[in-house]
Chain A
Amino acid sequence: MYQTNMYEGMVAETITMHGANRDIINAYFARPLGAGPFPGMVVIHHMPGWDEWYREATRRFAHHGYAAVSPNLYSRDGHGSPEDVAAKVRAAGGVPDDQVIGDLEGAMRYLRSLPYVNGKVGVFGTCSGGRHAFLAACRVKGLDAAVDCWGGRVVMSKEELTPKQPIAPIDYTKDLSCPLLGLFGEEDKGPTPAQVAQHEQELKKHGKTYEFHMYPDAGHGFFYYDRPAYRQEQAVDGWKKVFVFLEKYLGAP
């Protein structure tokens, strides 16, 4: 825990890295100053884009002792304000799951290449990023922990499947290769508590290591302090659970 007489410093900047198909994509990177070793975190932005909240979240992980990288999953869709780019991606039906998985694997490899990372890498995401965090935990080999915050469309009907999202993430549950933390709100319309229960059932069926927490009086996006969905008490507790979980599986920062 930080003490008031301790030194603290951080580097935070945009970088480029290799994503899916070895494409060069941009990313936001933040890490504590010092030799480490630091655990690594891949911070997966939500459908509304690679925005200010995600830069803040990336720095938050660095503040807590992680080398954190947030790849711009919309890097191939042109540049402009995060909202304009996200609106373009929204109109196109999102980004392909396979491409996202490749970008997240690239982010993991980038972190592992750094001399001050302790070799452990986790993923964190909210909204569509939560869905992607779970997908990555199932499809990318080598992750050590995953945090899915209210990821919707993990459970998908056949009618919801598209060429970009051809397989419901829940169907990959048997391949989950690391511990999973899930934070959800009882008032969320997607994922609904029933969908979360269905996912939990699947995790149990396959004997996976997971913790799910369902918060009362919270809906979708209760960490977002700039949105009406923000719930102070639940957000404070949720962040606490995130860092306890990560310390358990990635090592003490």
Chain B
Amino acid sequence: MCTMIVNQTKIWGSGKGANGWFTVREVNVSYDHPFHAPLEHALNIDFVNEADGPSARVAVELSVESARQLVQTILATLERAQAGGYLSE
């Protein structure tokens, strides 16, 4: 079914979409029907810039296990960077 489970937050960075690089301003995280992944539901992440229209989007659709691994990997990477003194801000 359409779960309508979605969260959005503001972010800052760049993403490479179908038309090349663009500035990403928001990320939408949903657990709902994927477009491509062969699953009924997936953890979908859309990096977007709403001001630039629907095509400003970098999408990934992950299994639940993959999504959890991604979260842990991001946090572990940031922890190493912090321990190394690279996170000055």
Stretch at the interface among B30-38, B67-75, B80-88: B30-38
Alpha-carbon distance A25/B54, docked complex (angstroms): 17
Q: A78-B54, A80-B53, A87-B46 are in contact. Are A93 and B35 (CB under 8 A)?
A: no
| B1→A191 contact, CB < 8 A | yes
Report B1-20 CB contacts with A as 1/0, cut-off 8 Å. 11110101000000000000
Question: B46 to chain A: which residues have CB within 8 Å?
Answer: 87, 91
Given contacts A91-B48, A220-B40, contact A78 B33 (CB under 8 A): no
CA distance A85 to B39 in the complex (A): 20
Chain B residues within an 8 Å CB radius of A248:
none
The count of residues in chain A whose C-beta lies closer than 8 Å to any C-beta of chain B is 35
CA distance A90 to B1 in the complex (A): 13
Asked if B1 and A83 sit within 8 Å, CB to CB, the answer is no
Assess the A152–B1 pair: CB atoms within 8 A: yes
B77 on interface, CB distance cutoff 8 Å: no
Report if A79 contacts B (CB, 8 A): yes
A229 lies within 8 A of chain B by Cβ: yes
Cβ of A142 under 8 Å from chain B: no
Which of chain A's residues 54-85 have a Cβ closer than 8 Å to chain B? 77-81, 83-85
Contact assessment for A91 and B28 in the assembled complex, using a CB-CB cutoff below 8 Å: yes
Q: Is the CB of A220 within 8 A of B28?
A: no
Docked complex Cα distance between A85 and B4 (Å): 15
* A90-B28, A91-B48, A229-B40 known; A84 vs B3 contact (CB < 8 Å): no
The answer for the CA separation of A46 and B35 in the assembled complex, in Å, is: 12
With the chains together, A87 CA to B30 CA distance in Å? 10
Residues of A within 8 A of B2 (CB): 46-47, 94, 127-128, 152-153, 190
- The answer to whether B54 and A87 have CB atoms under 8 Å apart is yes
List chain B residues, Cβ under 8 A from A87.
28, 35, 44, 46, 48, 54, 57, 59
Which of B32, B33, B54 counts the most A-chain CB atoms under 10 A from its CB?
B54
Instruction: Decide if A9 is an interface residue (CB 8 Å cutoff).
Output: no
Least CB distance from A146 to B in Å reads 19
CA distance A225 to B48 in the complex (A): 29
The yes or no answer to A213 lying at the interface (CB within 8 A) is no
Q: Could you give 23 example pairs across A and B, Cβ below 8 Å?
A: A47-B33, A83-B59, A84-B57, A85-B54, A86-B35, A87-B28, A87-B35, A87-B57, A87-B59, A88-B50, A88-B57, A90-B6, A91-B30, A91-B46, A93-B4, A127-B2, A162-B4, A188-B1, A189-B1, A190-B2, A191-B1, A220-B1, A220-B40
19 additional A-B pairs beyond A48-B35, A84-B55, A228-B40, beta carbons within 8 Å, are A46-B2, A47-B32, A77-B54, A81-B54, A81-B55, A88-B54, A88-B57, A90-B28, A90-B32, A91-B28, A91-B30, A91-B46, A152-B1, A152-B2, A190-B1, A190-B2, A220-B1, A228-B38, A229-B40
